[in-house]
Chains A and B, each alone.
Chain A
């Protein structure tokens, strides 16, 4: 699975971090970091992260 975050849209709300902490995290300044090619077993979490992104900036590619 490939995760793409549109960093032009992302405003560092961090909702994805709560939904999928194995894939998304925040650095000390509160800016988003993420794993671009997470394990398939994390699909449910990543879908949830995409749902809860206020900017709808997360895209999942098979």
Chain B
């Protein structure tokens, strides 16, 4: 029976899945999870949709941990502060220091914030339950005017949910010319813009945000009296000087990796934590990274290390990293395979769904309609040198299911060499 402790830094989905997969890979030693949120791990995709819409109580978001992790230690509401990898210790912000035999980096991301000048009050992000609850309270005030900064998936989901809540003025701002154009390319970017506009979302594209206008708070907004005196947002100043009136601003402009606690260990932390093909960190066999903080090479594609923020990644990385770590901790012989997940993501906006398999962003310069038409249900293929590298369905359930039929084909393909 192995002795020792695996410390899992981060207690969200990736941390939970790492603990479960450590058990599944045969680790019967101690496991301690440390996470800064007060909650047990919960499912985040509903935060920009069902939670904002008031349809999902917290209990419905909580993951049901596997029975195999009933004996792990949870230290919630505590932040990892400083890792000393050479000593195999991590100090926490409650003053304690934990030593470990294995370390799983699962500290995830936090929203990137706009740094341009203006008041802070009235500006929101959507990452945690507390964020979503605060934004819901703001969106449901009568007459709220909403500006979403960032026309990516989360921004567009929030805009759709706001319209669904009856908010009359919802504007999405982005310096790029079309929504979601980075991951999906122009054909679907145009189709998505049209759908959103048809349901009442306004877009201001091709311009960034230069600042925010505000006014001193006098407790005039119901429920915010306690914050009286602080400036509140009244508008968004665009790069071209125009001002969009706004009571509620949602910043969905990407994310920043929670890796400061790993500073000073000689790691590549340029964008998340760089790993090798087995998800090991810094050449240390006892340290692995999982979830969206891990910047890993995908052996299925070009070998370029990337962070991936899809919902499936915590589970995929946890499975692979746990095998890597347990093999090391238990001195198990055997060849470990390079990590090669097939990326999968979806997004629900208004009543339609986007469903993606593969790596559409690699093939966004060669986009072909495989079935249907961009104004209705459509299935789109993305190609590199004529070879299919990704499929995306947009529309109802039937077309989403048809994308799944291409998944097997994508899985069978040999590695892409660029």
Contacts and interface: CB of A to CB of B under 8 A. Distances in A.
A52 B398 contact: no
A29 B64 contact: no
A47 B398 contact: no
B315 A30 contact: no
B346 A30 contact: no
Q: Looking at B20, B45, B315, which has the most chain A CB atoms within 10 Å of its CB?
A: B315
A56 B401 contact: no
B364 to A, nearest CB: 24
Contact of B401 (A18, A30, A52, A55): A30
Nearest to B43: A56
B407 interface: yes
B397 A12 contact: yes
Contact of A54 (B45, B397, B398, B407): B45
A12 B401 contact: yes
Contacts of B400: 12-14, 30
A26 B398 CA distance: 10
User: Which secondary structure dominates where chain B touches chain A?
Assistant: helix
A59 interface: yes
Interface in A32-58: 47, 50-52, 54-56
Given A52-B312, A52-B315, A30 B66 contact: no
B63 interface: yes
B64 A56 contact: yes
A29 B402 CA distance: 9
Contacts of A55: 43
A20 interface: no
B295 interface: no
Contacts of A51: 17, 20, 315
Nearest to A44: B24
Interface string A1-31: 0000000010111110110000000100111
B315 A14 contact: no
Contacts of B64: 50, 56, 59
A54 B63 contact: no
5 contacts: A17-B404, A29-B397, A30-B401, A54-B311, A56-B64
Given A14-B400, A14-B404, A59-B64, 7 more contacts: A13-B346, A14-B401, A15-B312, A47-B66, A52-B312, A52-B315, A56-B63
| A-B CB proximity, top 3 nearest | A30-B401, A30-B397, A30-B398
Interface of A: 9, 11-15, 17-18, 26, 29-31, 47, 50-52, 54-56, 59
